[in-house]
Amino acid sequence: MSAGPFDAFLLVSFGGPEGPDDVMPFLQNVTRGRDIPPERLAEVAEHYQRFGGVSPINGHCRELLGALEADFAVNSIDLPIYWGNRNWDPSLRDAIQRMADDGRRRALVFTTSAYASYQGCRQYREDVFAAKSGIAKAPAFARIRHYFNHPGFVRPMIANTVAALDRLPADVRDRATILFTTHSIPMAMAYSSGPDGGLYVAQHDEVAGLVLDGVTEATGVEHAAELVYQSRSGPPSVPWLEPDISTRVAALSTDGVPAVVVVPIGFISDHMEVVYDLDVEVKELADKLGIAFARAATVGAHPEFVAAIRGLVLERAQSWRPDQRPALGEMGASYDICPAGCCPNPNGPRPAIAGKD
């Protein structure tokens, strides 16, 4: 199958430490310029050290890359795959340098973030632009659209949620509340996300509804459900998206809810925010309150998601019409090129790839 004008595929991810000595330098990279107190960094570092200083995200990227390479080969897509992280090795700049050295001239970027927001979209685009600056003969970059409502992203989450419900005790399963969770961001950033504002929350609402509908169809049970937020990291004086997941679990306990299923729809693979903030902190809270707890798996390298990425490559490479682009729900397929003013940088304009500004 033709990859059209593209001669390379670049996976861009957040990055994470892979040993105890990496943890603090990694956190300093992530928080540079944000005035995070040293004691807060030390607290977060302990979360990583609990797992041997290793974030699961790089392992998941390697798994996804291996699955993509195999899928591309089986489907005769001749598109070399590269991988670069924003905050840790393998670095984005090193990946782009390798692409230039290999003679790649036009690359398609896939980011491990499915939704619109400054941190989830434009910052990735800015970082690619900055990383290629000064590299002789660096390729030109286009990007794959937001894929939050692609069937290959939504359907695995439905299956994973049903599987999580099945792990609950049978006597409370049908009375479980489903908590769809994503990373909290500052309210101002949420309001400015997308070309017209509010897109971050709207996209998550859409996905939560799609997954809930699929779970209801699969189980025959209409569960109570809501969208919650997690992993806030800003100062108390700055409003962030709420409600916080721990606050809601405590309130549900007070209301007599016997079980919760947590579905991390905001993460395509396990991050520290998933394996610590959810699997440790929220689970410990649920255990303390006597609420049965199950966490749905992230999409990761699910075969249907891998096939979806292949489809997204082909639709971008072959300029499929809007009605040919798979999307569930009412929002339709997202744009390939970000409109001017979309998800603005709160610190002022910076150049970015794949946008009109």
Among candidates 72, 79, 64, 77, which has minimal Cα distance to 12? 64
Prediction pTM value: 0.96
- 63-115 pLDDT, tens digit per residue, is 999 999 999 999 999 999 999 999 999 999 999 999 999 999 999 999 999 99
**Residue 39 has what pLDDT?**
85
Compute the distance between CA of residue 212 and CA of residue 226 in angstroms, rounded to an integer: 10
Helix, strand, coil % over all residues of the chain, rounded to 5: 45, 15, 40
Q: Has residue 1 got a pLDDT over 80? A: no
Q: Which helix (H) or strand (E) holds 94?
A: helix 92-101
Residue written as token pair 């041997």:
52
Compute the distance between CA of residue 121 and CA of residue 200 in angstroms, rounded to an integer: 10
Q: Which CATH number fits domain 8-147+301-324: 3.40.190.10, 3.40.50.1400, 3.40.50.2300, 3.20.20.140?
A: 3.40.50.1400
Where do the domains of the chain lie?
A: 8-147+301-324, 151-295
Compute the distance between CA of residue 304 and CA of residue 325 in angstroms, rounded to an integer: 16
Instruction: Region of 134 please: left (phi>0), alpha (psi -120 to 50) or beta.
Output: left
- 117-131 pLDDT, tens digit per residue, is 999 999 999 999 999
Looking at domain 151-295, its CATH class is: alpha beta
344: amino acid identity, one letter:
P
Model confidence at 35, in pLDDT bands (50, 70, 90)? Answer: confident
Angle between the N-to-C axes of helices 57-74 and 303-317, in degrees from 0 to 180, rounded to the nearest 10: 60
3-class state of residue 354 by DSSP: coil
- 228-237 pLDDT, tens digit per residue, is 999 998 778 8
- 170-204 pLDDT, tens digit per residue, is 999 999 999 999 999 999 999 999 999 999 999 99
Q: Are 142 and 6 in contact (CB under 8 A)?
A: yes
